[in-house]
A and B are shown apart, each in its own frame.
Chain A
Amino acid sequence: MSPCRSITDHDYATVGLRAAAQLATVSALSNTTEPAMRKRNPAPHETDLVERLKAGDELALEAIFHLYSKRLYSVAHRILGTVADSEEVIQDVFWTAFRKAKSFQGTAQLSTWLYRLTVNAALGKLRRSKKDKEVDYEEYLPKFQEDGHHLVRPVVDWSDTLDEKYATREVQQLLAEALNQLKPVDKSIVVLSDLEGMSDKEIAVTLGLTVSAVKTRLHRARLFLRGKLAAQLGYSAT
């Protein structure tokens, strides 16, 4: 089927069969491809999909959707927190990927490009909705004496207490609330690092930041989350 003409109902019947066969292949690939997608060169089938996408092949778009939608939705949902917003973002991402495929540079990985589109779209949406909800980090960051010792001593190890006092679901709820108080960029960095397992360098490329900026923001965000959990348990954030 030529990708450069309108698709008729007859095409759809044909496309349906082709798509089913193709997507079965893609589905089989996706289980092994997704977890390792950031640590390899583009697979031949992915390069082919990109070329077809650039030519306007909607089946290529659907194949890419089946490869990456699960992971991208997870990122969007973790940043945004609602199904409706996440759906809108993923919809925009794949529509943009289809329309702007020609601007995709072969030197970058398709996954990196799609992650960037997703995080930027989610960040934009989050920034528009957040306004004044952010909390000042300082109150929850460690404090030190002039000689460099912890300001409040002894520092309590509450890591076991957290599990004893709260059920897993409650801890995750506490954490979700704390995550929502992070600055949008910091929240994205935590999601990509601690939930998606991306390296600092990969996050820097995805967000257009320096590695140093990613590390600084990630560390401060983690310290803030730690402070929030400590405060919830009745301990000092320091």
Chain B
Amino acid sequence: MAARRRTQPLTNKTCKQMTDLVLDYLNDKLAPTTKRDFQRHLRICPDCVNFLNTYKKTVAVTGSVAIDEIPQTVRNNILTFLRKRIHRLGPIR
């Protein structure tokens, strides 16, 4: 194992490069070798693990924002508006 470490660096990515790859990593869009490098870096860099966790948390919190339902009055207002405008417009040619 020690010999392998000497011939093959544990990671050839810096934390800055890791940050630039996070979006593609989460979308599983990294090339296999880049993904391996990314995961290798995570194994030795707690800072990047923590960064990744907080990035994922941000995305999760953003996605959990409640859906804004269209109020019934708004639906009715819009439909009434459209019907009136269509009748005022007359036949479309």
- Chain A positions within 8 Å of B, measured between CB atoms, are 3-7, 55-56, 58, 61-62, 65, 69-70, 73-74, 77-78, 83, 86-87, 90-91, 94-95, 98-99, 142, 144, 147-150, 153-159, 162, 168, 171-172, 175-176, 179, 190, 194-195, 197, 200, 215, 218-219, 222-223, 225-226, 229-230
Residue numbers in A under 8 Å from B65 (CB-CB): 78, 172, 175-176, 195
The reply to whether B62 and A162 form a contact with Cβ atoms under 8 Å apart is no
Asked if B86 and A159 sit within 8 Å, CB to CB, the answer is: no
Q: Write out, one digit per residue, whether chain B residues 1-20 have a CB within 8 A of any chain A CB (1) or not (0).
A: 00000000000001111011
Interface of B is mostly: helix
B58 touches A150 (CB 8 A): no
B residues within 8 A CB of A62? 79, 82
Alpha-carbon distance A70/B72, docked complex (angstroms): 10
- Nearest neighbor of A158 in chain B, beta-carbon distance: B54
- A58 vs B86: C-alpha distance when bound (angstroms): 7
User: Cβ of A74 and Cβ of B22 under 8 Å apart?
Assistant: no
Q: Which residues of B contact A95 (CB under 8 A)?
A: 81-82, 85
Show 19 A/B contacts (Cβ-Cβ < 8 Å), sorted by A: A4-B92, A5-B91, A87-B78, A91-B81, A91-B82, A95-B81, A142-B19, A148-B17, A150-B48, A153-B47, A156-B50, A156-B54, A171-B61, A175-B61, A176-B65, A194-B59, A222-B58, A223-B55, A225-B62
Q: Which residues of A contact B16 (CB under 8 A)?
A: 144, 148-149
Q: How far is the CA of A94 from the CA of B89 in the complex (A)?
A: 14
Contact yes or no, B87 A155, CB < 8 A: no
Instruction: Assess whether B77 is interfacial by the CB under 8 Å rule.
Output: yes
> Does B28 sit within 8 A of A, measured CB to CB?
no
Within the assembled complex, what's the spacing in Å between the Cα atoms of A73 and B69?
8
Contacts of B74 in A (CB 8 A): 73, 83, 86-87, 90
| Complex: chain A residue closest to B70, CB-CB | A73
- A-chain residues with CB within 8 Å of residue B71 when the two chains form the complex: 83
CA of A200 to CA of B24 in the docked complex: distance in angstroms? 11
| CB–CB B64/A172 < 8 A | yes
The main secondary structure of chain A at its interface with chain B is helix
Write the nearest CB–CB distance from B25 to chain A, whole angstroms.
11
- Give which listed residue, B53, B57, B63, B82, contacts A98 with CB less than 8 A: B82
19 more A-B residue pairs beyond the given contacts A144-B16, A175-B62, A219-B22, with a C-beta to C-beta distance below 8 A: A4-B93, A62-B79, A73-B70, A78-B68, A87-B74, A87-B77, A90-B70, A144-B14, A149-B14, A154-B50, A155-B46, A156-B54, A159-B53, A162-B61, A176-B65, A215-B24, A222-B23, A222-B55, A223-B19
Whether the pair A70, B58 counts as a contact (CB closer than 8 A) is no
Q: Determine which of A56, A69, A200 lies in contact with B70 in the assembled complex, contact meaning CB atoms within 8 Å.
A: A69
Please state if A6 and B90 are interface contacts (CB–CB under 8 Å).
yes
CB contacts (< 8 Å) of B68 on chain A: these are 73-74, 77-78, 86
Contact assessment for A65 and B55 in the assembled complex, using a CB-CB cutoff below 8 Å:
no
